[in-house]
Amino acid sequence: MHTSSPFPISRTTGFFSIVLGLAVLTGWAFDVDTLKSVLPGLNAMKPNSALAFMLCGIALICTADVNSGQLARQLYAVSATLLLLLGSVTLSQYVLGSDTGIDPLLFRSVADADTDNLRSLRMSPQTAVGFTMLGVVLWLLRDARTRTIAQYLLLLFAIVPFLTSIGYLFGLNALPFLPNYQPMALHTVFGFLVVSAGLLASTVDIGLLARLRQKLAGIIFGLGLALLLLCVVGSVVNLRHMTQLNARQIHKQDIVLRFERVANEIEFNISAYRGFVLTGQDWFVAPLEASRQRLAQHLDYIRQHVDADQQQERLNRLESAISHRIALCDEKIRLRQDKGLEYASQAVAEGQGNRLNYEIRGQIDDIVRVETAAVDTLKTQAEASEKTTLVALSFSLMSGLGLIVLAQAESKLNAGRRRFAESERNRLSEILEATTDFVGMTDPQGTITYINRAGRVMLGLGDGPIDQFLIADAHPAWAYERVGQQGIPYAKTHGSWQGETALLTADGREIPMSQLILSHRDDAGNITFLSTVMRDISERKRDEALQSQMLHKLDTIANASAMLLWSSVHDKGCDWFNRRWLDFTGRTLEQEMGAGWLEGVHPDDLAHCLSTYERGFDARQFFSMEYRLRRHDGEYRWLLDQGMPRYDENGAFIGYIGSCLDISEARQTQVALQGFKSTLDLTQDCVFMFEPQSLKFIYVNQGAMNQVGYTAEQLMTMTPLDIKPEFDEAGFRAMIAPLMSGESSLHRFETVHRHKDGHDIPIEISLQHVVPSSESPRFIAIVRDISERKLAEHKLCASEASLKQAQRLAQIGSWELDLGSGQLAWSDEVYRIFEIDPEGFAASYQGFLQTVHPDDRDMVSAAYADSVARHCAYDMVHRLMMADGRIKYVRERGETQYQGDTPIRSMGTVQDITTSKRIEDELHLYRNHLESVVKRRTAELEAVNQELEAFAYSVSHDLRAPLRGIDGFSKALLEDYQDTLDDTGRDYLNRVRVATQRMGILIDELLKLSRITRATLKCTAVDLSQLATEVLQDLQDTAPDHPAQILIQPGLQVHGDSGLLKVALENLLGNAWKYSGKRADPRIEFGRFADGAETIYFISDNGVGFDMDYADKLFGAFQRLHHREQFEGSGIGLATVKRIVHRHGGRIWADSKPDEKTTFYFTLSGEDDRFQ
C-alpha cells in the first residue's frame, strides 16, 4: 500500500489507541471505574472494545511498513482480520439474538458473577458496527485500487462518533432522527475519532482529501472553530438543563417540606380535639379553623406541583382520609359539648381515630418517600450531567484548540513548502543557466519553451526570442530524424531516451552531442513537458580516433607476441583478442567478442572462471586465475590468465587488459609433485628436510606435523634443535659433519622429539645428506616413532624381573638345552635350588646328571630319552644330592621342540618340593593315626546308639504303663463314682485324662524324632510335587469343609530319603493348612526358585503368621508361638523338619508377617538343581 501520507500521525494515533485499550483492560482487571467509564454513571467501555482498539492501534503502527516489511504485513493482516471478526460476530449476536460466548472471553469471572445478564460485557450495537466498518476499511486500504472507497467509508463512519460526541456535549440520551440510539462509552467515542483521524491521515494523497489538500489547513481551522462554537452552545444548553433540574429538585424538596407541615397541622387538630374532650375548654378548639385553612392551602400547593398520576391518586386518598379524620374530630367535639365527658370518652375509646391517624401517616410517608427518591434521582442526574458535560466540553475544547493549532501548523508548513519550492526552482534555474551542457524544454506538441545560456551560445541565438525556433533548426537532418523518430517517441513511452546526436550551429557546423530526453508527467499521468540535456562530445570523439590509431599499433605488436592477449570494455564484454589467441582457439574475432570466448572454457572450470572475472571487474582489481581452454585441435590446455584494470587520462575506468600463458606442462609437473607429497603425507614415518647451513626446515610431511604438533608454517621457522632437547648446536653439527664430508652416507640413531605441548616422544632417525643435480644440498631425516617399541622393551624388562621374582617365590626355575650344541641354560632360581655357583659350573646335560641322586640318575635319563623319542612331555619327581650329603626333592617338567622329526631344543622347569614332600610324609603319619581314632570313636558311637535305642524302648515301655494306669483309674472313677463326684471333681479327672493322653502323644513324637535322628538315609529320586499333592489330598479328605487354593509347582525332583521328606512335607503343609484355616480365602503354595547356584524350596500360606522377634524359638522342641486352645499341636513338628533337612545337608528358615503371610524356605544338598 504505497502512500505519501504523514505516517507519524498514523503511528501516534496507533500508540494512543493501544494505550487506551490497555488502560481500559487494566480498569476491568483491577475494577477501576474511572478507567472503565471515565465518570460514575456513564457507560463503560467493554473489554472486547478495548481489545479492538488495541488491534486498530497495531494496524495503524504497521501502516507505514506494510509494503516493505514482511512482519508488518503479517501483523497488519492479522489485526484487520481479528478486528473484522470481533465486530461482525458481536453484531450477529444482536441480529440473530444468539450468544456465541465471545463477550466474556477476556473476563470470565465478571460474567460468572452476573449470570443473569451476560450482555453486561457485550459492546453496544453501534460500537460493533463501528469496529466492523473499521475492519473493512483496513482491508480496503491494503489495495491501491480500493483505498478511495476506504476513504469515503471512513468519512461516513466518522459521522457516528461525531454525533455521539454532540449528544454528550448537549446532554442528549437519544437523537431526534435515531430515537432508539443508545450512546457509546465516552472514551469509545473519542477512540473512534482518533482512529478515524489516523486512518484518514494515511489517505491524504487520494480521493477527496487529495483534492482538498491545498485547502486542508482552512478545513481543519473551520472544524476547530465549529467545535469551539459547539462548546459555547453546549455550555449554554447544559447550563439551562442543569438549571431546570435544580428547579425541579427545589420543587420536590418543597413538596416534602409541605407534607411535613400537613402532618404537623393534622397533629395539631388531633391534639386540640383531645384537649377539648378532656377539659371542655373552648380555647382548645378556637385555633382549629385557621389550622384547617393552612392544611387546605398546603394540599392545594402539593396537588399543583405533583406531576405523577400515581402520586395524584395517593394524594386523593390522603385528602379523603384527612377529611374523614377532621369530621370524626368535629363529631367528638359535638358529643363532648352535648353529652359530656363520659360519652365523648367512650367514643374516643372505640379507636376509630387512631386507625385513621395510622392511615394518614402511612399515606404521607409513601408520598414523601417517592418524592424524596425523585429528589435523589434529580440530584444524581444533575451531578452526572454536570460531570459528563464537563468532560465532553473538555474533550471538545481540547479537540477544537488542537485542530486550530494543527491548522496553523499546516498553514506554516504549506508556506514553508511554497518558499522551499520557489527557492528550489530559482536554484535549479541558476544551475541550468550556469551549466555548460545544453538544456532545453518543449511542450508535449514539440514547441520549444526554454533553452539555457549554454544552448543559446551553441546555437548562436544570443538573448533573442525562441518562440519561432524549431527542433529541426537545432539539428542536422540525420540527427533530427533520429530525435524525431526514435528519441521523442521512446521517451514519451518509457520516460527517457539516450543516444548520440549532433547540433547544427549558425555557421552550419555539426557538434557531436550525447543527448538525454526526459518526459515529465503530472499526478494524473499526463505528459506536461519534455526536457533534454546534451553534452558536447567533440573531444571524446577526437580521443576515440586517436585511441583507435594507438590500438591499431598495439594490435600489431600484440599479434606478434607469443602470449594470448585480450581486452574488455567497462560492460565486461571483450572487444579485442590478439592473433596468437585466435590461432590458439581457431576461431574468429567476431566469435570471441563479448562473452563468446567463454564457449571454449572447460565446463568444469566455467563457473570459477566467470566468478573470478566478474569479481575482479566489480572490485577494479588485478585478478589471476587458472582454467582450461579448448585449443583448435580440441585438446583442453591449462592457461594462467591475469587481468589488469584500464583507466583513461581522467582516471575513469574503461575496462581490462589481460594475458594468458599455457601452463599445461608446468601443471602436470606440479600435479606429480603434489602426488609425491601426498604419498609422503600418507606414510606412517615422518619426513623432515632441513638446510645444512642454517639448519632451518625446508619441508615436512603431514606425519611430521602430527608428531610434534606444529603447523608447516611454524616448522618452516624452526630447526631440528628446537625439537631435539638432547642436542645443542655444536653437538648436532659434529654429528652431521661425517655425512656432509662424505665419510658416511647414513646415520641412524635414537633420541627424542619434544612435542609442542612439552612431552617427549622416543624416536629412531635415519639421516642422509643428499645433493640434487639442480638444487642445493639438503638433509633428509626419516623419523619413526618408537614409543610402542620402548614401551614393549620396558614391559619385557619388567616381565623378566617379575618372572624371576615369581620363580623365587614359587621356588620354580627354568632351563633350556640346545641339542645341537649341548649347551644348557639355567635360570637363577635353578642355580639356587641346586645350590651351585654359576661361575664355577659348566652348564651341560652331563653336569646336570651329576647333581641327581645316584639312585635316580637312570630313571631321569630314561624318562628324558623316552619323552624325546615319543615326542611328548615328561613330568617326574626325583632327588638331588647336595654337596653336604643333604637330599632335596624336585619336580621336573619338560618338553622338546622339533624341526621335522629332528629334536633341536628341550626346555622345562624345576620346582623345589622338599618342604612339601616333608609335609606330605607327616600328613601320611597323621592320616594313619586319624583312621585308628575314627574306628575307635565309631565303635563307641555305635555302642551309645544301641544304649539310646534301649533307653528309648525302656522309656516308651516304662512310661506308657503308668500313664495307662492313671488314665484307666481316672476313667473308672468317672464311671463308678459319677454320682458321688461333684462337677469340680469330674472336671479334675477329665483334665488328668487329657494330660495323660497328651503325654502319650508327646512320648510318641519324641520316639519319632529319635528314630528320625538315628534312621539310615535311603536316598533315591523323589518327586516332591507328587508327595505334596498326596499330603494335601489327605488333608482335604479329613476336612472337606476347608476349601483352599492350592498351588504346587510341577516337576520338583530331588535326591533324598522319600519317607523322611514326606514327614517334613506333612509337618510343613499341615501347619500351613492349620494356620490358614480361619481365613475366608486360604491359599497354600509350594515351589522353588534359584538363588545363584543354590536351589531354594518354599511353602507359603496366608494364615495368622507370627512375630519375627520369636523366630529363633521356632524350630526348638516343644516350642509353640500360639496357644494350644487356638491351634492344636505338640511343638515337635518343626523340630522334626529341621532334623530331616539337616540330615539332607540343607538348612531351613522362615519369614512371616502377622495376619498376612508365612513362608518356610529350605534347601537340600542332594537335590538336582539343573532345572529350567
In this predicted model, what pLDDT tens digit does every residue of 717-745 receive, in sequence order? 999 999 999 899 999 999 999 998 888 88
**Quick one: pLDDT at residue 1013?**
64
Class of domain 435-536: alpha beta
The answer to whether the CB of 1081 falls within 8 A of the CB of 1091 is: no
Give the angle subtended at the CA of 361 by the CAs of 360 and 365, to the nearest 5°. Answer: 115
Instruction: Give CA–CA dist 848/894, Å, rounded.
Output: 14
Instruction: Give CA–CA dist 749/738, Å, rounded.
Output: 14
> Which tens digit of pLDDT belongs to each residue from 294-323?
888 888 888 887 777 777 888 888 888 888
Tell which CATH architecture fits domain 541-662: 2-Layer Sandwich (3.30)
Cα diameter, the chain: 186
> Which residues pair with residue 1159 across a beta bridge?
1100, 1151
The answer to whether the CB of 769 falls within 8 A of the CB of 750 is: no
**Quick one: pLDDT at residue 921?**
80
Q: What's the first-to-final CA gap in the chain, in angstroms?
A: 83
- CATH 3.30.450.20 matches 668-785: yes
Q: In terms of pTM, does the model score above 0.95?
A: no
Per-position DSSP letters for 704-735, written without gaps between them: HHHHH---HHHHTT--GGGT-TT--HHHHHHH
Q: Which residues of the chain have pLDDT under 50?
A: 1-6, 111, 113-118, 173-181, 1167-1172
Tell which CATH architecture fits domain 251-380: Up-down Bundle (1.20)
749: enclosing H helix or E strand: strand 747-754
Secondary structure of 69-120 as H, E, C letters: CHHHHHHHHHHHHHHHHHHHHHHHHHHHCCCCCCCCCCCHHHHHHCCCCHHH
Class of domain 1017-1162: alpha beta
262: enclosing H helix or E strand: helix 216-279
Give the other-Cβ count within 10 Å of 1144's Cβ: 23
**Quick one: pLDDT at residue 1096?**
92
Strand order in the sheet with 564-569: 574-577, 564-569, 653-662, 636-647, 623-630
- CATH 3.30.450.20 matches 811-909: yes
CA distances in angstroms from 539 to 435, 437, 439, 513, listed in the order given: 18, 14, 20, 11
Question: What torsion do the CA atoms of 1048, 1049, 1054, 1060 make, to the nearest 10 degrees?
Answer: -10
